[in-house]
């Protein structure tokens, strides 16, 4: 009996909290029928924003996949003064309001900023263009790969790496044949979380992108603009597309990694 | 290869293909003539749907060349911050004169918009009250928005130009008498009205357009907004009623050139676009989208679409922007919020 009570309350809560609002989006999006839905998501602005978002997410994942693994490796393998401070820095992007990240970057890289000033004198503009949004996304998603890969590296036996080294393997050889296979699954989990988070990033993006339709407008910004303009149908339709992509991602994650426990991924 | 590996490779392939083609498109876009326009929310429909396509067509016929127009629309305060932070806007349309004034102080604007026709206003509107069908709360005036139990939606003046106008409308309706001069009671009745209205405000959305969307979702009994925005929703067949107060403020948006972002090669294009805004075609389009346009011939053709305004006052009656923004928006409204 207790089992059913627990199951009902647990799953009931999940449905109320997550499934119900999602269902509402679907209903909203299909209110005008399939043709209206298709029209909403196939406008040039909508198609562009979706492609732009996917591209950003891919670039973000590629860079943070590599750099996150590097940072996790450094934190797991080396001891140095101030390590715990660096370690805490990694998680900060989760706690800092996205808007703070946005305006900080805007100030730093803007025409009057420490970095942006000299760059803008040289005619290079980072904000309101792909590189600026990418920097924001790299910042916002940084913890995911580090926190997925880190514990695996910590748990894995350093002896194996040392043995390979003694048997004559090069540094890269050790990474390629010993370290990488151990962290592969964790890296996939971290990457998917990174990708998904980047896909939905809004708070920092709205500040640094300039929200230019067909230029720098990501899918979440498209939704925001359409909602503000009163085009609830278009906003809901794009939301449905993003929800579906995320669902496929997380479902695919389970499929691709098979036995992998999701407990390792950061929340 | 296992099924999961094939799927992973396929997914990666698709994502890489999308990324490469997007970059390709972005690279291709940046060649050719481009004009970047930022506008406050209410400008989105008339500009995107009519004025810009008409200008592009005119440009093609006149110069035998294509011009690409990039746009971004949001609340006045938001586009102001973006432009100040370096957004590439070349032409910007603000709901109020506060933002252009600051941009001029920053040196981003060097051409005074007051040298343009009509002081830089190519289309006007007025502040009105939008209620549900049948006006169940029997709201007749700005003063009634302070009545007990009226749930009022008003945008946030820190980000919304529409909100600043709305607050000035409230304030002016209590501060000025019917002939447009300060009434004997001084500023006290106006401050009191702001206080009563803010106590009734259930939400302060960041733009006038967002406030309208919220109203459409069923929030609030009354919305203090632009007449043109209200007419957009009425035209959509929504069951609202526009209440035109006895005396309201005449709203004058400003179009400006962000000179810092206009290179020598773009100056002519920007000038042509500015002229186009005052031309018959753009004026007709703005009137169709519920603005009270400055071209009187065009306006007369559409006069029947608008309610008559018994008496209207302007920002100058409240001492001009410099004084009004300090006294009313940063002064009286802030104080009303704090109490």
**Which DSSP string corresponds to A70-109?**
HHHHHHHH---TTHHHHHHHHHHHHHS-HHHHHHHHHHHH
Which residues in A lie closer than 8 A to residue B85 (C-beta atoms)?
106-107, 110-111, 127
Residue of chain A minimizing CA distance to B7: A256
How many residues in chain B? 339
> What integer pLDDT is reported at residue A202 of this predicted model?
96
Q: Residue B31 — pLDDT band, cuts 50, 70, 90?
A: low
- Residues B69-97 pLDDT 10s: 999 998 888 899 889 888 999 999 999 99
- Residues A143-196 pLDDT 10s: 999 999 999 999 887 888 888 888 888 888 888 888 899 999 899 999 999 999
B120 neighbors B113 (Cβ within 8 angstroms)? yes
Nearest CA among A54, A37, A50 for reference residue A234: A37
DSSP letter, residue B304: G
A96 vs B: CB within 8 A: no
A229 vs B: CB within 8 A: yes
Cα–Cα distance, B54 to B59 (Å, whole number): 9
Task: Examine the pLDDT at B257 and tell me if it is beyond 90.
Answer: yes
Q: What is the pTM of this model?
A: 0.82
> What integer pLDDT is reported at residue A175 of this predicted model?
87
Q: Residue B18 and residue A54: Cβ atoms within 8 Å?
A: yes
Which residue in A212, A232, A255 is closest to B70 by CB distance?
A: A212
Cβ neighbors of A111 (< 8 A, separation 6 or more) are A117, A120, B85, B86
Which residue in B41, B71, B86 is closest to A125 by CB distance?
A: B86
Which of A19-28, A99-108, B111-120, B201-210 is predicted with the least confidence, judged by mean pLDDT? B201-210
Q: Which residue has the higher pLDDT, B281 or A30?
A: B281
User: What are the structure tokens assigned to B58, written together?
Assistant: 């005119």
A256 vs B: CB within 8 A: yes
Which residues in B lie closer than 8 A to residue A110 (C-beta atoms)?
85-86
- Residues B162-186 pLDDT 10s: 899 999 999 999 998 777 778 777 8
Which of A155-164, B132-141, B245-254 is predicted with the least confidence, judged by mean pLDDT? A155-164
Which of A40-49, A252-261, B229-238, B259-268 is predicted with the least confidence, judged by mean pLDDT? A252-261
Cβ neighbors of A231 (< 8 A, separation 6 or more) are A40
Task: Examine the pLDDT at A266 and tell me if it is beyond 50.
Answer: no
Question: What is the bridge-based pairing of β-strands B123-132 and B33-40?
Answer: unpaired
Cβ neighbors of B326 (< 8 A, separation 6 or more) are none
> What integer pLDDT is reported at residue B323 of this predicted model?
92
Average pLDDT, chain A: 89
**Please, which residues bridge with residue B129 across strands?**
B224, B243
Which residues in B lie closer than 8 A to residue A256 (C-beta atoms)?
4, 7-8
> What integer pLDDT is reported at residue B127 of this predicted model?
96
Task: Examine the pLDDT at A258 and tell me if it is beyond 70.
Answer: no
The 3-state DSSP class for residue B296 equals helix
Task: Examine the pLDDT at A127 and tell me if it is beyond 60.
Answer: yes
Q: Residue A117 — pLDDT band, cuts 50, 70, 90?
A: confident
Q: At what angle do helices A44-77 and A33-41 cross, to 10 degrees?
A: 60
Chain B interface with A: residues with Cβ < 8 Å: 4, 7-8, 11, 15-16, 18-19, 21-23, 25-26, 29, 36, 41, 44-45, 70-74, 82, 85-88, 207, 209-210, 212-213, 216-217, 232-233
């Amino acid at each position: 009996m207790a089992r059913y009570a627990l199951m009902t309350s647990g799953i009931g809560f999940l449905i109320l909290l997550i499934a119900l609002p999602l269902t509402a989006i679907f209903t909203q999006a299909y209110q005008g029928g399939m043709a209206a839905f298709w029209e909403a998501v196939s406008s040039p602005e909508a198609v562009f924003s979706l492609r732009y978002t996917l591209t950003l997410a891919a670039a973000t994942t590629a860079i943070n996949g590599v750099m996150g693994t590097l940072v996790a490796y450094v934190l797991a393998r080396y001891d140095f003064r101030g390590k715990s401070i660096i370690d805490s820095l990694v998680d900060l992007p989760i706690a800092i309001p996205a808007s703070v990240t946005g305006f900080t970057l805007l100030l730093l890289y803007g025409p009057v900023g420490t970095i942006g000033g000299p760059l803008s004198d040289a005619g290079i503009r980072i904000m309101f263009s792909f590189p600026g949004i990418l920097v924001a996304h790299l910042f916002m998603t940084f913890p995911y790969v580090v926190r997925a890969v880190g514990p695996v590296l910590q748990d894995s036996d350093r002896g194996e790496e040392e043995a390979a080294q003694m048997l004559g393997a090069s540094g890269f050889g050790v990474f390629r044949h010993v370290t990488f296979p151990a962290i592969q699954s964790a890296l996939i989990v971290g990457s998917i979380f990174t990708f998904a988070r980047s896909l939905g990033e809004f708070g920092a993006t709205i500040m640094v992108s300039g929200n230019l339709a067909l230029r720098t407008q990501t899918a979440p910004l498209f939704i925001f603009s359409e909602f503000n303009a009163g085009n609830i149908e278009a906003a809901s339709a794009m939301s449905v597309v993003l929800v579906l992509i995320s669902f496929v991602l997380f479902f695919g994650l389970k499929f691709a990694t098979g036995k992998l426990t999701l407990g390792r991924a950061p929340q | 290869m296992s099924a999961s590996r094939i799927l992973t490779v396929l997914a990666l392939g698709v994502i890489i293909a999308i990324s490469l083609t997007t970059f390709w498109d972005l690279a291709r876009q940046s060649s050719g003539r481009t004009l970047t326009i930022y506008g406050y929310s209410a400008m989105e429909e008339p500009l995107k749907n009519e004025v810009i396509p008409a200008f592009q067509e005119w440009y093609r016929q006149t110069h035998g060349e294509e011009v690409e127009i990039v746009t971004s629309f949001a609340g006045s305060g938001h586009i102001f911050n973006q432009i100040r932070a370096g957004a590439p806007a070349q032409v910007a349309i603000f709901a109020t004169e506060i933002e252009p004034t600051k941009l001029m102080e920053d040196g981003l604007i060097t051409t005074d918009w007051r040298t343009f026709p009509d002081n830089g206003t190519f289309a006007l509107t007025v502040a009105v009250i939008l209620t549900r069908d049948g006006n169940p709360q029997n709201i007749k005036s700005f003063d009634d928005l302070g009545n007990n139990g009226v749930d009022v939606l008003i945008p946030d003046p820190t980000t919304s130009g529409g909100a600043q106008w709305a607050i000035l409308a409230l304030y002016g309706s209590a501060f000025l008498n019917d002939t447009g001069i300060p009434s004997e009671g001084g500023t006290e009745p106006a401050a009191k009205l702001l206080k009563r209205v803010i106590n009734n405000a259930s939400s302060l959305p960041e733009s006038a357009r967002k406030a309208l969307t919220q109203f459409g979702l069923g929030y609030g009994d009354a919305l203090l907004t632009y007449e043109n925005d209200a007419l957009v929703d009425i035209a959509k067949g929504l069951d609202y009623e526009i209440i035109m107060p006895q005396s309201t403020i005449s709203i004058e948006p400003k179009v400006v050139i962000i000179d810092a972002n206009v290179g020598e090669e773009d100056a002519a294009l920007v000038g042509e676009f500015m002229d186009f805004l005052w031309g018959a075609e753009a004026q007709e389009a703005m009137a169709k989208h519920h603005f009270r346009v400055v071209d009187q011939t065009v306006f007369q053709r559409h006069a029947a679409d608008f309610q008559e305004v018994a008496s209207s006052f302007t920002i100058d009656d409240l001492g001009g922007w410099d004084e009004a923004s300090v006294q009313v928006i940063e002064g009286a409204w802030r104080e009303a919020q704090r109490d």
